[in-house]
Amino acid sequence: PQPLERHGPARVIAMANQKGGVGKTTTTINLGAALAEYGRKVLLVDFDPQGALSVGFGTNPHTLDLTVYNLLMQEDVDIDDVMVKTNVAGLRLLPANIDLSAAEIQLVNEVAREQTLARVLRPVIPDFDYVLIDCQPSLGLLTINALTAAHSVLVPLECEFFSLRGVALLLDTVDKVRERLNYDLELDGILATMYDSRTTHSRQVLQRVAEAFGDKVFSTVITRTVRFPETTVAGEPITTWAPASSGARAYRQLARELIAATDK
């Protein structure tokens, strides 16, 4: 990809799937790191009270004074004081911890409750090329906030038969958010994850996904490998921890696909 002459405004992408363990957080970390390698300025938003995205960069979320929770719930908190640097140049993180689980309930009583995340991100949109929001595994108010703040959705989909069922429900939710809250919300695509080329099962699921979603499926497929769980322990992206690994190469390929599709 060409280097950018100037940065921003950001394309905001929600990484969503209400099923857990499908690769949302792994994709947020490694797609973000790969985009930053290509010179893009990237902000990653941890929007899951489990804080796995924050842990993935070696932060201990329980020791943080300020997280995305404070940003959402307190008027006087500045986003610059909440963002932290990562080991990757050009890649910053808005961390979260278990405090965020309270926001789901507290937001219910806020004015424009679905627009809260969009509102607090607005000041930094001009500074970044991509903002990736790592959603929690539910279709609750936090995820609705992410879909409302986003230009588009990227759906990591595990290559397992039952995973296809859940996607229909997710896409219904995306349609509702588009009709009611965010008229321009797009589907960037479905990303097949946890692919195991040795099993016919995995190959069949991939074929079904291609039949069902056609050109909405990314050409990049993420293979199942233990290197990903290992990077969580290492506290850094696979692109820096094992730069020549097939996993690192796959996420760079995804980054190139996204850059080509979004023209950024």
Cβ neighbors of 160 (< 8 A, separation 6 or more) are: 194, 201, 205
> Interface residues for Mg ion in 48-87 (CB under 5 A)?
52
How far apart are CB 112 and ligand ADP at their closest, in Å?
Answer: 27
- How many alpha carbons fall within 13 Å on the CB side of residue 112? 11
User: Which is closer to ligand ADP, CB of 121 or CB of 254?
Assistant: 254
Sites for ligand ADP among residues 209-228 (CB under 6 A)? 222, 224-225, 228
* Alpha carbon distance 14, 24 (integer Å): 10
Q: Determine the interface stretch with ligand ADP among 5-13, 15-23, 80-88, 101-109 (rule: CB under 6 A).
A: 15-23
C-alpha pair distances (Å), 76 with each of 70, 72, 104, 113, 170: 9, 10, 20, 18, 34
Torsion (CA) 121, 126, 130, 131 in degrees, nearest 10: -10
Answer yes or no whether residue 49 interacts with ligand ADP by CB under 6 A: no
Angle at 183 between CA 68 and CA 158, to 5 degrees: 60
> Cβ closer to ligand ADP: 162 or 183?
162
Stretch that binds ligand ADP, among 21-29, 70-78, 106-114, 169-177 (CB under 6 A): 21-29
**Do 84 and 59 contact (CB within 8 A), yes or no?**
yes
Q: Tell me the per-residue interface mask from 4 to 43 with Mg ion, x by CB under 5 A, - otherwise.
A: --------------------xx------------------
Site for ligand ADP in 56-115 (CB under 6 A): none
**Nearer Cβ to ligand ADP (213/228):** 228
Using CB positions, name the residue nearest to Mg ion.
25
> What residues make contact with ligand ADP under the rule CB under 6 A?
20-26, 52, 137, 193-194, 222, 224-225, 228-229, 232
